[in-house]
Structure 1
Amino acid sequence: MAPFVCLITLLLVSHLCNAQPSPGYYPSSQVAPLSFNQGYRTLWGPQHQTFQQGTVTVWLDRSTGSGFKSLKRYQSGYFSAAMKLQPGYTAGVITSFYLSNQEDFPGHHDEVDIEFLGTTPGKPYVLQTNVYVEGSGDGRLIGREMKFHLWFDPTKDFHNYAIFWSQNDIIFLVDDVPIRRYPRKSDATFPQRPMYMYGSIWDASSWATEDGKIKANYNYQPFVGQYRNFKIAGCEFGGPKGSCHLPKMSPSGPNNLSPQQVAAMTWAQRNYLVYDYCKDSKRDHTLTPEC
């Protein structure tokens, strides 16, 4: 075989190996979308939000950012939104979609995060997933971060990002591909108290980009994030017992992943995982016994 043909063959095989595998099952298809006003309300920065044809646009400038919050608290559930990020210089800026009860339990809250860490031109966004449990984010900073680059450019189009939170697992999904599963190994390492769902854009220059080395530069303002296709299938806190049924995460039920889904998650972690707190030798793992 000619060298040029060999090179083309190798490139094609490499591309196919890195192509997104089908998870074989799509939990998002089980949940009907709802309008922003059906599920959420503006929390802060109302002058930095617009609503047009089902899309919520939020932005950050020198004066403030913006955020929104679910109308209800949830004990568990499936929460998703399609998001599109701003290209170019976004260092120091966080665009997020997350569960939290910080307003109810200041100083000892729980949190489950999808956060996009801003970047500089030519470098990819980092998608950070994180779990805080009973105040481990309030001063002691015991985060459980797993960070990913993505297999697509999140500034080019909308993609779906989801958190599934049951009494046994937290699963993070991107376009229905599971990228992380955080199982309940003990009560002490798993959030169990009710939480609201939030979205926001804000300045996190102290840590967001290269551990805070590169700050937000407001010569590039405004920094913009967009959300649409909101979905919530959750168990409302205080709702009637037996009235809530979580969507199935796999063909076999709400708390399992199929072998095909596990293979897709393995692919995502093998090719795109860039940080795992359990594998960080600088961390004190006595504080994260689940590792």
Structure 2
Amino acid sequence: MCSNLLNIMATFLCVIGLLLMSNLSNAQLSPGYFPSKQVAPLSFDQGFRTLWGPQHQKFQQGTLTVWLDRNSGYFSAAMKLQPGYTAGVITSFYLSNNEDFPGHHDEVDIEFLGTTPGKPYVLQTNIYVRGSGDGTLIGREMKFHLWFDPTKAFHNYAIFWSPSDIIFFVDDVPIRKYPRKSDATFPVRPMYLYGSIWDASSWATENGKYKANYNYQPFVGEYRNFKIVGCNSGGPCRLPKVSPSGSTKLSTQQVSSMQWAQRNYLVYDYCSDSSRDHTLTPEC
């Protein structure tokens, strides 16, 4: 799925109710502030269009369901995770401008990496800047487990994109803040919003150890509660506040909740990976 509305640039808030099911753990540290409550949801038809695979989707009672089987390729829409064997399968939503800048695009990703029974999903956040997608693309991955089972209930996942920061949220808890340290390491060109479910067997689950197994097909994702607010660069705009101060500076409580999430649930940080060539990621 692709958002028609989002020829969006420097300031962007997207909240998608990924139909990832579960009750919030009592151990969660409250962020103290809830940006998602300031944005009214859109219907799918208001904000999105199907790019490919209409035979692999249905929309019913406010929920978009998409699925992957042997007849599926790339699909765009918003999401819901399923339990069981999902290795090799990625369910995602992301910002990209590949339509406008093929071979030289920017991207901001939230991706759920499929798993095997008994092991948790991995939530991967990633940022590409002027990437080519031909093997020279430089990822900036941070991966998390979650403090709930995302197959048990719906949860909100959000990207906030401003001229100075990109912030990722899970149920309004900030889990990652990526500051603009230079123009070379920060996406500034307009992007569209996409959702997809696709086969990434070569790397998605334990670096490709477990592949998509179509004996378990279809692999299903469901989406609802779409919330999109965006501004064109330089134009008038009224966005929800991302923090009590109204700026991109998180409150003390929000910072504490982000530190809590990273201390307890962060499982990979590209800046801490000694096998990476950090001359390619100078922001580290």
Q: Could you tell me the TM-score, scaled by structure 2's length?
A: 0.88
- Cross-structure match for 2:242: 249
Partners of 2:157 and 2:169 within 8 A in 1: yes
Q: Who is 2:198 aligned against? A: 202
Q: 1:30 aligns with which of 10, 15, 38?
A: 38
Relative to structure 1, the CA distance from residue 56 to residue 197 in structure 2 (aligned partners, 3 Å threshold; closer, same or farther) is: same
The DSSP-based 3-state class of the residue aligned with 2:256 is helix
Partner of 1:268: 261
Paired residues of 1:130 and 1:146 also in contact (CA < 8 A): yes
- In structure 2, the residue matched to 1:47 is 55
- What is the letter of the counterpart of residue 118 of structure 1? G
Runs of 4+ with >6 A deviation = none
* Gap change, CA 1:137 and 1:167, over 3 Å in 2: farther
Distance 2:99 2:207 in 1: 26
Does the C-alpha gap of structure 1 residues 136 and 252 become closer, same or farther in structure 2, counting only changes over 3 Å? farther
Deviation at 1:256, TM superposition (A): 1.4
Deviation of residue 65 (structure 1)? 4.3
Partner Cα separation in structure 2 for residue 63 and residue 35 of structure 1: 27
Question: What RMSD over aligned residues (CA atoms) do the two structures have, in Å?
Answer: 1.5
How far is 1:47 from its partner? Answer: 0.5
Aligned residue in 2 for 1:285: 278
Deviation string, structure 1 residues 212-260 (Cα, Å, up to 9, x no partner): 11110000000001110000011146xxx54212221101013110000
Aligned pair partner of 1:231 in 227, 232, 242: 227
Higher relative contact order (CA 8 A, sep 6+): 2
Bigger fraction of residues in helix = 1
Give me the whole-angstrom Cα distance separating, in 2, the residues matched to 1:206 and 1:102: 22
How far apart, in 2, do the equivalents of 1:122 and 1:18 lie?
Answer: 22
Q: Is the 8 A contact 1:205 1:216 kept in 2?
A: yes
Structure 2 residue identity aligned to 1:172 = F
Matches within 5 A, 1:1-291: 19-65=27-73, 67-68=75-76, 83-135=79-131, 137-236=133-232, 241-291=234-284
> Normalised by the size of structure 1, how large is the TM-score?
0.86
Shift of 1:67: 2.4
For 2:135, the aligned partner's letter is G
- For the residue of structure 2 that corresponds to 1:141, the secondary structure is coil
- Tell whether the 8 Å contact from 2:76 to 2:197 is kept in structure 1 after alignment: no
Tell me the matched-pair count.
Answer: 260
Question: Cα deviation per residue 1:106-164 (whole Å; 9 max; x = unaligned)?
Answer: 11100000000000000000000000001164421310000000000000111100000
Identical aligned residues as a percent = 83
Change (3 A) 1:206 1:214: same
Structure 1 segments unaligned to the other structure (5+ residues):
1-16, 70-80
Stretches of structure 2 lacking an aligned partner (at least 5 in a row): 1-24
Q: Distance in 1 between matches of 2:26 and 2:50?
A: 39
